[in-house]
Amino acid sequence: MKICVVGTGYVGLSLSALLSQKYHVIALDISKEKVDLINQGISPINDDELISYLNDKSLDLKATINNKEAYENADYIIVATPTNYDTEIGSFDTSNVEIVISDCIKLNPNSTIIIKSTVPLGFTDKMRRKYRKREIIFSPEFLRESKALYDNLYPSRIVVGDTTTKAIKFGEMLLACSKKSKSEKLLFNMSSKEAEAVKLFSNTFLAMRVAFFNELDSFSEINNISTEKIIDGVSSDPRIGNYYNNPSFGYGGYCLPKDTKQLLANFGEIPNNIIKAVVESNDTRKDFIVESIIKKKPKTVGVYRLIMKKGSDNYRESAVLDIVEKLLREKIEIIIYEPFIDEIKFKQIDIVSNLSDFISRSDLIVANRISSELKLVSNKVYSRDLFREN
């Protein structure tokens, strides 16, 4: 069994590590830098399990930038390339996935293509019709960044968008490489269109939950009542649950903002209120946060970290970025503390690499997530991280 995984980001690399415990895996990427690191057993991603699996485990994994070497004779080709939301076309830009599918068909027409990238509803059927090939299957990925391999070792569920022998086998392979009990009912087979909907509705539900607790927090702040006490009281109902309820500046990260917009785009003329509101609520929340900051009349706002949450190794689509944009529009002076940025400027804003300098130059420190580093200056900090959780 040879498996080719295209894209060695959070999704592709974690699947490569997972599957190469039992199968021969070739991981293909356009980045030679990433490929070289992986072949040296170094994870390009800051993820505890990935770091340890690539370094210590005996995995049957090789990375390459050579399409032919990767695709030839592969039984399964897993596509895990980016699908960013394109505001001009009002949909995901699926060109990266389409290029890969077209190459697969040319170089290895008999392979089974598994799309792990998140795609618009109906995309897989469109590809099947275009290439007259049934073995193009969507299988959603549910991992969290910074826990990418962990979430594949302990999956909440494995969804595969077909009921053919090859589709069922693929789900069983993922399960066999996981650490979950094989008796748990984790495998769900359905059509690819249904699997695409599972992915978009799951992420939109998560975004809705974040947006709900953020609106509860805005309400409490204006009414001068305790958000903590209200959330504790609300969340102790087991139907609601005391988790994933810590207020923030907005939902962010690579997936929730774009997946909610894609689902809304797929709704089109279908009557809806909630889906639209989930998308709009995030912007309303950020406006509210900016107004709260302005009310404090700071001369210099210090933005503490651009990352979306603790443990993140990137700041893709982080809610803080929009806060920075909005503050800039209000002509507020800003400085940023973000150790991930080596440059001296970010969008013409000073990056202050020394934390003490950053603290002394800031009148108000704005932090989406608080860290112990700020403990001694808590009187200067504005945050909605009330439960110190992600």
Query: Which of residues 8 and 260 has its CB atom nearest to ligand NAD in the complex?
Result: 8
Interacting residues toward ligand NAD by CB under 6 A: 6-12, 28-31, 34, 80-83, 96, 99-100, 116-118, 141, 143, 145, 254-255
Is 255 annotated as catalytic? yes
Query: Which of residues 43 and 96 has its CB atom nearest to ligand NAD in the complex?
Result: 96
Distance CA 291, CA 131 (A): 52
Distance CA 76, CA 2 (A): 7
Q: How far is the CB of 361 from ligand NAD (least distance, A)?
A: 33
Q: Are 262 and 92 in contact (CB under 8 A)?
A: yes
Query: Which of residues 116 and 286 has its CB atom nearest to ligand NAD in the complex?
Result: 116
Query: Which of residues 80 and 319 has its CB atom nearest to ligand NAD in the complex?
Result: 80
Of 49, 56, 41, which Cα lies nearest the Cα of 15? Answer: 49
Q: How far is the CB of 10 from ligand NAD (least distance, A)?
A: 4
Q: How far is the CB of 230 from ligand NAD (least distance, A)?
A: 30
Residue in 4, 104, 177, 255 annotated catalytic: 255
Query: Which of residues 17 and 100 has its CB atom nearest to ligand NAD in the complex?
Result: 100
Q: How far is the CB of 37 from ligand NAD (least distance, A)?
A: 11
Q: How far is the CB of 373 from ligand NAD (least distance, A)?
A: 26
Q: Active-site residues: which are they?
A: 255
